[in-house]
Amino acid sequence: MVKEAVQKDFIQEVTILSTCNRTEFYFVSANTSPLINWVKEWYNDNLKRDIDFAKCEPYTHQGNETIKQLFRVASGMESMMLGENQILSQVKTAHEHLLMSSGKTPLLNQLFRDAVSCGKAVRTDTDLCRGAVSISLAAVELAKRIYSSFQKQKILLVGAGESAELTAKHFQENGATQFSIVNRNEERGKRLAEKFSAEYAELSEIPELLKQVDIVVAATHSKEYLITINQVNQALNARQYKNLLMIDISTPRNI
């Protein structure tokens, strides 16, 4: 996207901040009218998303409001879990990509450098991030309210992205050893399964897995439900209504 953008005469600088639940485009431009329309067209054409922007208008900021937005993001104020720390490393990564990109980006470089400094200051000088957690850790903490130990629990992770990996990591740190990984992309799913000595399964195997596992965490970006009410009801009947904890941290929801 960056290579295409810099070829437009109305775009001087560009970078992308992509996290588990947001995609933000940052531009330096003297003419925002064609810019916004171009972003919408690029988003649908290249990401194969059929979005009706008339019903789902993206938020836009200009000038000082753009600075405030990035500072709020870096500080964890726009996160699903207020004050979470993961977002700051993601802002740092976006800044690193900006530095490695071809072309001069003095304004965005300064903006992201200041945003990282702001995020650090908020975490050091305020109580906003005290006790803050990621959504993945929050899922594990919720499971700990139900199960005193994860050593014997079978855990199904639907997804193999960053959130799923963090969730597996937190479960493992709390004693979990029995994982199953389901993911649409087989290569990515198997790679995560290998990292946690887990079993890899296809999406089509979810109904059968629901009959066997104790905990399910969905963490994908699928636009459709991957676990349906019919699948859950069938699984509960087969389990003779043995407890099944299901946690959905997907965006949008997948259960």
Rounded Cα gap, residues 115 and 87, in angstroms: 11
Q: Is residue 148 part of a domain?
A: yes
**Are the C-beta atoms of residues 189 and 205 closer than 8 Å to each other?**
no
What band does 222 get if pLDDT is binned at 50, 70 and 90? Answer: confident
Identify the pLDDT of residue 121: 95
Identify the pLDDT of residue 207: 95
Q: Are residues 145 and 34 in the same domain?
A: no
The residue from 125, 159, 184 where one domain ends is 125
pLDDT tens for 152-211 read 999 999 999 888 999 999 999 999 999 999 999 999 999 999 999 999 999 999 999 999
Paired strand residues for 157: 181, 217
Question: Which is higher by pLDDT, 48 or 57?
Answer: 57
Mean pLDDT of the chain: 88
What band does 221 get if pLDDT is binned at 50, 70 and 90? Answer: confident
What band does 101 get if pLDDT is binned at 50, 70 and 90? Answer: confident
Q: Is residue 185 part of a domain?
A: yes
Rounded Cα gap, residues 162 and 199, in angstroms: 18
Cα dihedral across residues 51, 52, 54, 55: positive or negative: negative
Q: Is residue 254 part of a domain?
A: no
Q: Are residues 119 and 198 in the same domain?
A: no
- Counting the structural domains of the chain, the total is 2
pLDDT beyond 60 at 25: yes
Domain of 69, CATH number, reads 3.30.460.30
Domain of 214, CATH number, reads 3.40.50.720
Q: Are residues 172 and 225 in the same domain?
A: yes
- Check if 56 is active-site: no
Rounded Cα gap, residues 73 and 25, in angstroms: 13
What band does 11 get if pLDDT is binned at 50, 70 and 90? Answer: confident
The residue from 90, 125, 160 where one domain ends is 125
Catalytic site residue from 20, 56, 118, 129: 20
Q: Is residue 83 part of a domain?
A: yes
Give residue 17's domain range: 2-125
Q: Is residue 75 part of a domain?
A: yes
Q: Are residues 114 and 151 in the same domain?
A: no
pLDDT tens for 225-255 read 999 999 999 999 999 878 999 999 987 889 9
Among 121, 80, 92, CA closest to 250: 80
The residue from 125, 156, 187 where one domain ends is 125
pLDDT beyond 60 at 132: no
Q: Is residue 255 part of a domain?
A: no
**Angle, CA of 142, 174 and 231, to the nearest 5°:** 50
Identify the pLDDT of residue 67: 96
Q: Is residue 228 part of a domain?
A: yes
Which amino acid appears at position 23 of this protein? Answer: T
Q: Are residues 109 and 207 in the same domain?
A: no
